[in-house]
Amino acid sequence: MPKPTRLIEASDFPELEFVEREATPELAMKLGIQLHLAGLSLSDTVSVLEGLGVDRCRTTVHNWIQKADLQPADGVEPDHVAVDETVIQVNDQRYWLYAAVDPATNRLLHVRLFPTRTQALTEMFLAELTEKHLVDDALFLVDGAPWLQAACHRHGLRFQHVTHGNRNAVERVFKELKRRTNAFANHFRHADPETAETWLQSFAVCWNQLI
């Protein structure tokens, strides 16, 4: 069984609003969610819980993550924001994962999954980002994608075309995300896009608290 990375203290883990409707103790649910997001497969997560006297199936642990609906915390005021997109396979379809990262901390600020890559969707992503965080004065680090630069211009955001340097923060996050999605569920096999996006956003919360 692979070893997960260190876990978040239970007191620091986000509250589970659905806990009153579950028969499982909240601490066990938090542990199960963390174990899976931190690196264990659903099968291995279930095995750990069984060792603690909590007998649950893989689907139950998966449903805990979906019901938790975790999101990266709002209200961050970064000096720089690295923005990029990458392809994620969901069943037999390609989807575009958009992510914004604070390169000073490597923490994910916002994550979305879209069926295609257009300027309109990029503008939507940036609009959501500006609503969640204090980024009006931040310098956005982007690549040469014209839709990304145009979307920054449309929102009045300062941006700089950067190939390496601080922008590598988002590449490191994408590398880990791709490693996880390759290792688990064969690129989200049998999952719908909404389920995959919820998992990715939950992963972002765990990533932010573990780095």
Residues 6+ apart with CB under 8 A from 105: 78, 211
- pLDDT computed for residue 191 by the predictor: 78
Tens digit of each residue's pLDDT, the chain (211 residues): 555 555 655 556 777 877 666 778 888 888 999 888 887 888 999 999 999 999 999 999 989 998 988 889 999 999 999 998 988 888 888 999 999 999 999 899 999 999 999 999 999 999 999 999 999 999 999 988 899 999 999 999 999 988 766 667 677 777 877 777 665 554 566 778 898 899 899 989 988 887 7
Q: What order of strands is seen across the sheet that includes strand 107-114?
A: 107-114, 93-102, 80-90, 139-142, 158-161
Print the SS3 string covering 130-164.
Answer: HHHCCCCCCEEEECCCHHHHHHHHHCCCEEEECCC
Instruction: Please state, in angstroms and rounded to a whole number, the distance separating the CA atoms of residues 190 and 26.
Output: 27
Cβ–Cβ under 8 Å, residues 108 and 207: yes
Amino acid identity for residue 153 in this structure:
H
- pLDDT computed for residue 137 by the predictor: 96
- Sign of the CA dihedral with 55 first, then 181, 177, and 125 last: negative
- pLDDT computed for residue 186 by the predictor: 44
Calculate helix-pair angle for 58-68, 42-51, nearest 10 degrees: 100
Q: Which of 148, 130, 141 is nearest to 103 (CA)?
A: 141
Amino acid identity for residue 64 in this structure:
W
- pLDDT computed for residue 11 by the predictor: 54
Provide the whole-model pTM: 0.83
Would you say how long the chain is, in residues?
A: 211
Exposure letters 95-122 (e unless 16+ CB within 10 A, then b): bbbbbbbbbeebbbbbbbbbeebeeebb
Q: What are phi and psi for residue 101, nearest 5 degrees?
A: -130, 140
Q: Which of 128, 129, 159, 124 is nearest to 144 (CA)?
A: 159
Residues 6+ apart with CB under 8 A from 151: 119, 122, 123, 125, 126
